[in-house]
Structure 1
Amino acid sequence: MINFFNDFANLCFERFGNRVKNWITFNNPWSVAVEGYETGQHAPGLKLKGTGAYRAAHHIIQEKSYIKGTCDFLGLGHFTTRYVTQKNYPSGLGDSYFADRDLAELVDPQWPDPGSEWLYSVPWGFRRLLNFVKTQYRNPMVYVTENGVSEKTQCTDLCDDWRMTYLKDYVNQMLKAIRDGVNVKGYTAWSLLDNFEWDEGFSERFGLYYVDFRNKNKPRYPKASVQFYKRIISSNGFPNQREVESWKRKAVETCSSSNQLLAADPLIGHMEMVTEIVVPTVCTLCILLSAVFLMFLLRGRL
């Protein structure tokens, strides 16, 4: 594995080294430990409840003697916020990393829900988190490595108004945190393109560009958020509310041509038919067959 990683790193340095100066070795170490060894959602897919995450984290920090004092920046990925409250879990539930925390996560039903079941838009939580890092960790240099919102739909409407609103609100809260004195040096919207989202596969789309994964050429189509985010970058913020609203209107207008191109793709029409007709039909047949099988099984036991 070490040799494979060396080959991968050398390839990255060779191809991108003249442009990329900051590198992150392990992305989402929490996910590596918890979702790789506790829940089994990610590779290597182990479900060692109550022990796996701790052992994985312990092995990760064994190298601390090599890296102590070498931290040059904090890479922070942030998408949403939760309230927490104290909660005691019954011992009969068995060992679990989540039960060990003795807390429950809560959401406000009034928080906007763009579509993904776990991602609520809570912009003020972003500012509070950045200020927490400032006060608790001596205000380190922070690069926001991931911040964005997804949709879990098969729709081909590229006028993603909810994503533009999310980006506007979250970037604005980050700017407020910078004025609070937080040492934020960079921000990256997640993500440039729709991509492979771990256990969600291609079903959860974060991209500013829509990717048609069913086409072997993987064509890209710009969503409205492309033009909107471009305006934020070129203006280095928000000039005034009226101007920002005009950005959104123009972005929605320009996305109509992308919608027409995407709708003209015959594969898209075929897949919409599969999604709307074939998938529900197959699910219904599976339920009926399961019911018939259960009836025969029960008759055999009577």
Structure 2
Amino acid sequence: MLFTKDDFGDDFKWGVSTAAYQIEGAHNIDGKGLSIWDTFSQKKKKIFNNHNGNTACDFYTHYADDIALLYKLNIPNYRFSISWSRILPHGIGAVNIKGIDFYNKVIDFCLELGIEPWITLYHWDLPQELQQKGGWANREIINWFSYFVDCCIKNFGDRVKRWMVLNEPMVFTGAGYFLGVHAPGKKGLSSFLAAAHHAALCQAEGGRIIKTLRSDCKVGTTFSYSHVEPYRTGNEKDLKAALKVDALLNRMFIEPLLGLGYPTKDLKILERIERFMYPHDEKKLKFDMDFTGLQNYTREIVSHAPLMPFVKAKIIKASKRNVQHTLMDWEIHPPSIYNALKRYSSYQQIKEIIVTENGAAFTDAHEEGMVNDSERVKYLQDYIAQVLLAKKEGVKVNGYFVWTLMDNFEWAEGFYPRFGLVYVDFATQQRVVKNSGRWYSQFLKNTVPASM
């Protein structure tokens, strides 16, 4: 069965997503302060091949060309984030006018070309000065973050009408404050639970601030969601393990926001978060978002693991299961995005779902001016088909954004995994549109159908 862009309706939002630290570079010029990723990426053996985002894609210099490329590719919506330390070098206090000017130029040029800017307020690059005071593990982050949100909305809210408060809070708190594999490199359950609770409070408080300052803005936030299944179907221990992992990965932040509280019934260890809760926090965790950003790449297969602390469960890697997978060792399983959308649709409080990230990393070869990434083309077609299937079944999904516009700095994996629709030669900063970028452009122009 073939489908086209028209099958999704005229109001469906198509776009691409990026993040400030992953593309901007210019890490220490024009008044920008250090972020936790500026610091973390300088530590040996933390990032693949000791890569860092000091230059990345140099979007700070090339923004006009890159936005013009968006226009050339027929991409009507661009999701990007604001570097907190670029506009507030110390996290709070004095505003860096050159940082404000940069984002004004990005926003204004998008609008000039008819591209709608969608801004993520926090995409993992906390100012280093705030981390030295405890970062997300310090409850004062609520006040610091509120100051940042207020600054952004007052400077950009007159033109930007779609805002996302946080990007994947489960990932930046889990990887950054429990496992220590992402910035700021902290470890331990107490550190994680404190950071997680404060992030959950900030996602609601950020929404309230935006709506108070600009009632004409649409407010959302984004969540990572990986469909979880037990390794052995029908095995009671694996079923319980999968339920725990699902509670941790997929429910820990969305449910408090919806007024359902933390999923402590299915993951008892989360009861310890109560020691970081103040009176009335349960009420403060709740906020009625205009839309919810869903970010799906894969599914996770989980088995019981009695020696694993806290959850007694482990994820079985795709390569160990001999299934088709990406360079990130994430299983290619298109129904995962359908299942994620159906799950979110079961929450009656959610008004609108936007797929704010979906994509894949493969070994891309630049040969004779071309990048023939046929695996990525098929991946996008198959996942988009599942989005359409969910939409046809009544799921309130109204947008799809590819991760990502161009190859970039992929956090702990450095520049090794390439997710982009556009190939970047990091030595020369040359951009080459991949076949996937050409396909997406033609699909959005409605000149090529896709199979379902």
* TM-score calculated relative to the size of structure 1: 0.67
Indicate yes or no: 2:213 matched with 1:2: no
Equivalent residue number for residue 381 of structure 2: 168
Residue 263 of structure 1 is matched in structure 2 by: none
* 2:284 counterpart of 1:144: no
Deviations 1:197-225 (A, max 9, x none): 1111111110111100012xx01011111
What SS does structure 2 have at the residue aligned with 1:133? helix
Q: Specify the code of the residue in structure 2 equivalent to 1:129.
A: A
Q: Stretches of 4+ moved more than 4 A in 1?
A: 4-11
Contact 1:145 / 1:188 at 8 angstroms: preserved in 2? yes
Match of 1:12 in 2: 103
- Structure 1 CA distance, aligned partners of 2:447 and 2:167? 27
Give the conservation status (yes or no) of the 8 Å contact 2:422–2:433: yes
Specify whether residues 5 and 178 from structure 1 end up closer, same or farther in structure 2 by C-alpha distance, changes over 3 A only: farther
**Superposition pairs of residues 110-125 of structure 1, within 5 angstroms:** 110-117=322-329, 119-125=330-336
Closer, same or farther: CA 229–32 of 1 in aligned 2, 3 Å: same
Q: What does 1:1-302 correspond to in 2, within 5 Å? A: 1-3=90-92, 12=103, 15-16=106-107, 18=111, 19-20=116-117, 21-46=161-186, 48-63=187-202, 66=205, 67=208, 68-89=286-307, 99-106=309-316, 109-117=321-329, 119-152=330-363, 155-157=365-367, 158-215=371-428, 218-235=429-446, 238=449
User: Percentage identity across aligned positions?
Assistant: 29
Aligned to 2:223: none
- Secondary structure at the counterpart of residue 82 of structure 1: strand
* Distance of 1:151 and 1:15 partners within structure 2: 29
What one-letter code is carried by the residue in structure 2 that aligns with 1:83? I
TM-aligned CA deviation for residue 24 of structure 1: 1.9
RMSD over aligned Cα, in angstroms? 2.7
Q: Which has the higher helix share?
A: 1
Q: How many residues align?
A: 228
Q: Name stretches of at least 5 consecutive residues in structure 1 with no aligned partner.
A: 91-98, 242-302
What secondary structure, in the 3-state scheme, does the structure 1 residue paired with 2:403 have? coil
- Could you tell me whether the CA contact under 8 Å between 2:362 and 2:375 is conserved in 1? no
- Local SS of the residue matching 2:375: helix
List per-residue Cα deviations over 1:110-142 (Å, max 9, x = no partner): 53123332x221001110110011113445311
Shift of 1:163: 0.2
Question: How many angstroms does 1:233 deviate by?
Answer: 1.9
Greater share of strand residues, 1 or 2?
2
Bigger relative contact order (CA 8 A; separation at least 6): 2
Contact conserved, 1:139 with 1:182, CA < 8 A, in 2? no
Mapped to 2, the partners of 1:103 and 1:60 lie a distance apart of 25
Structure with bigger gyration radius:
1
1:172–1:237 CA contact under 8 A, matched in 2? no
